[in-house]
Structure 1
Amino acid sequence: MILVFVAGLFLGVLLNLVIIRLPLERNSVGGWPRCTRTGQPLAWWQLLPLVGWLLQRGKASNGKALHWVYPLVEMLTAVTITWLYATYGLSWFYGYLVFITSILIVTGAIDWLHRFIYTFVVLGAVVLALGATLLLPDLNIAHAGMGALVAGGVFILLFLLAQFLFPARSAPFGLGDVYLGIFIGAAVGLPHLAPSLFYGVLMAGFVAVLIVIGKYLLRRRDLPEYLSYGTYLCLGVIVYLLTHDIRG
């Protein structure tokens, strides 16, 4: 179990490389990693999951703070794949869940940091998720296909509603969220679609209420105007996958 946790930490490092490099339009796998603050190549010890961040005390060599999202990604990845391993053991279905959660972690982190969801990432993952249903007996192609269609239809309606309600400014619900919904539907299947989305909606709603209270009752001016809805959807699905069996 300890080896799985350590492997999860290093997988988190790889996911962080994708999270950092995709928005910079760099090759997500090539080249030596560089500091997000200084642009300088990282030393080997700075790449150690969690340890590198702690040894730097959360700061780059120029004194600027390193984002807390990166160590959180490493810890979340390690905890997630260890939890799933304890539940399902080493199997093809376990590998499928590791893939799904990795896509969710990358997508959620990028949406939090940059307010953007990469179409080619989530739609590519849709194709792979649907393909996996043909290869793994634990998955159902009909459930996955219907999940993708229903989620796509519902999220398109939400997108159109957001465009109607917020015509003069950036809508809080974009096409990226529609594509993310399609991926979630394909990944978990129709029977698990509504409950898995409920977790994320509940978290987003709770945070939104806190922001409203802070802004209008406590007069806090340092609170964000934008809610990374996709991030909460991703976290909600991860929580659901850790607590529910989606086989069948």
Structure 2
Amino acid sequence: MLMILVIAAGLVIGSLLNIVIIRLPRERRLLGWPPHCTRTGEPLALWQLLPILGWVLQRGRAPDGQLLPWIAPLVELLSATALALLYRQYGFSLLFFYLGFVCLVLLVTGAIDWTHRFIYVFVILGGTGGVLLVNLLAGGSLPALPLRDSVEGALVAGVAFILLFLLAKVLFPSRAVPFGMGDVYLGIFLGAAFGRGHLMPALTYGVMMAGVVAAIILILKHGFGRRDVPEYMPYGSYLCLGAIIYLMVQEWA
């Protein structure tokens, strides 16, 4: 019974996250009522806000006939799945709520980066401050993640990602840098959230996925002469998804 409630809560939270994901880049604000179409301004009916089902009932199209982002039901599904798996492993513990918060920050950041290729500093640094505050107040009671480990993880990731950013500036001097400062802030958040011990395994999933996609893009572009492939890819989205997958499949010990 509790598992069903957790899944339902995950779906509802995912639906609320979608409002933020869609509204923040277009209207530059988080709050506002009632929920409305960001293109036409028309209020949305309650059934249109239903997780996954609302997207299906609308056949993936907004009231003005344009396509709804397919990433919306994916966010809701990932939110419910992640919270359900975390609950199964840790119950209603401090670790469950902590890792759940980390997942939600990663979902918002990854989805916005995928659709707009932009990472909001106040979201990711606000999340960083949140996880550091939790680790400080927990006083070492959070399993395998004392405050010192969290701070060291943030420092290690921050330095490593800054070096990658500078390398990208050198390799692409006349183009938009494919690895931006938003990715650096994301790295700092991941380091703080996962700590020194979990950081590298959590990054591995995203790096591998990004590497495979990058290889496919290079093959299509240079091997087959395809010009319709994207010039750059949202690395932050892959890092976020990889970290979420890590939380879902690996036990935090």
The answer to whether TM tops 0.5 is: yes
Equivalent residue, structure 1, for 2:172:
166
Give the aligned residue type for 1:167.
P
Letter in 2 for 1:94: F
Aligned match for 2:221, one of 215, 219, 223: 215
Aligned amino acid, residue 218 of structure 2: V
Question: Within 5 Å, which residues of 2 pair with 1:133-152?
Answer: 133-136=135-138, 137-138=141-142, 139-152=145-158
Unaligned runs of 5+ in 1: none
Match of 2:105 among 103, 106, 116: 103
Structure 2 counterpart of 1:239, from 226, 233, 245 = 245
What's 1:78 paired with? 80
1:154 paired with 2:154, answer: no
- Which of the numbers 189, 194, 202 marks the counterpart of 2:195? 189
Once the two structures are TM-superposed, the CA of residue 66 in structure 1 deviates from its matched residue by 0.8
Q: SS of the counterpart of 1:22?
A: helix
Q: Deviations over 1:212-246 (max 9, x none)?
A: 12222333333211200000000111111112233
Counterpart amino acid of 1:56?
Answer: Q
What are the Cα deviations for residues 187-211 of structure 1, in whole angstroms up to 9, with x where unaligned? 0000111111111110000011111
Query: 2:58 maps to which residue?
Result: 56
The SS at the match of 1:33 is: coil
Mapping of residues 20-39 of structure 1, within 5 Å: 20-39=22-41
Q: Which residue does the alignment assign to 2:133? A: 131
> Residue 37 of structure 1 contacts residue 66 of structure 1 at CA under 8 Å; is this kept in 2?
no
Q: Is there any run of 5+ residues in structure 2 with no aligned partner, and where? A: none
Q: Secondary structure at the match of 2:215?
A: helix
Q: What displacement does 1:25 show?
A: 3.8
1:120 aligned residue = 122
Distance 2:129 2:62 in 1: 39
Return the TM-score normalized by structure 2. Answer: 0.94
Alignment of 1:85-100 (within 5 A): 85-100=87-102
CA contact (8 A) 2:23 2:38 kept: no
For the residue of structure 1 that corresponds to 2:225, the secondary structure is coil
Q: Aligned equivalents of 1:95 and 1:19: distance in 2?
A: 21
Relative to structure 1, is the Cα distance of residues 225 and 39 closer, same or farther in structure 2, using a 3 angstrom cutoff?
Answer: farther
Is the Cα contact below 8 Å between 2:89 and 2:251 reproduced in 1? no
Instruction: Give the % identical residues.
Output: 58
Which residue type is aligned with residue 121 of structure 2?
A: T
Of 211-220 and 136-145, the range deviating more from structure 2: 211-220
Query: Shift of the alpha carbon at 1:4?
Result: 1.1
* Counterpart code for 2:223: L
Cα distance in 1 for partners of 2:248, 2:122 equals: 26
- Amino acid in structure 2 at the alignment position of 1:211: I
CA-based RMSD: 1.3
Instruction: Tell me if structure 2 keeps the 8 A contact 1:188–1:246.
Output: no
- What is the alpha-carbon distance in structure 1 between the residues aligned to residue 121 and residue 62 of structure 2? 31
Q: C-alpha deviations, 1:74-122, integer Å up to 9, x for none?
A: 1111111111111111112101111100000000000001111011111
**Cα distance, 1:39 vs structure 2:** 3.2
